[in-house]
Amino acid sequence: MKFSLAALALGVLAKASPVPEARGHDKRLLFTQTQHIPFEYTSTFNIIATPDQVVGTDNVATGGLPNAKGIFNFGLNSKEDIICYNITLLGFRGNYQSLALTATHIHEGVKGKAGPPRIVFANPVGDDRRRNSVGCVKGPFLTGILTDGVDTGTGFTVKKIEDNPTNFFADSHSSLAVPGAVRGQLDRGSRKGSIIDVHISI
């Protein structure tokens, strides 16, 4: 299936908390608006997340959720502090479980190390075979996790990801693998200036 991140970005932007299905809750879609055309990505990332990359808070490998896999596709616009996402989970089982607003995140942490969530995304929807979520999130960001009384998303911008992408990872958490079902470290990504349209095959 092909999906255009640029087309998505022109449609829906979720500010701070990207869960449109919960309309009566704090985790709802806060606004929608049409962006100028063309939408510009300053960087893109295509990440494969696997169980063997998951570590606990003690930085010891947990094994994650066996036979699960995640495909995290991101388009960033650091000028407007927007991140668009197309996330697919394969073989995900159990319920989503996390103390954060959702169970699907970008964390700050180098490979092999745990770290705090900085951005949360709508949990993928589907069945045990395949789940998917798509959307865009615009700063300021909130995660629902507090450190010394301050939300771990406070003051965070997508520019910080672009400045040092390998310091960040994407993951999703299951009740069967609470430290993480799958995890994928961001790489250097693609930074080719103005990207009008990004098609992702999944």
Its sign, for the CA torsion 123, 31, 107, 194, is positive
> Could you state, in order of their start, the residue ranges of all structural domains in the chain?
2-201
pLDDT of residue 190: 77
Query: How many residues in the chain?
Result: 202
180/186 Cα distance (integer angstroms): 16
pTM for this model (two decimals): 0.80
CA angle 193, 45, 89 (to 5 degrees): 150
Alpha-carbon distance 155 to 87, whole Å?
Answer: 24
What local confidence, expressed as pLDDT, does residue 5 receive?
52
pLDDT at 156: 98
Report the distance separating Cα 176 and Cα 131, nearest Å.
Answer: 16
pLDDT, block means (10 residues), the chain with 202 residues = 47 43 34 48 97 98 98 97 98 98 98 98 97 97 98 98 98 98 92 45 40
Helix and strand counts by DSSP (H, E) for the chain: 2, 14
Q: What angle do CA 200, 9, 5 make, to 5 degrees?
A: 5
CA distances from 29 to 33, 78, 114 (A): 11, 21, 29
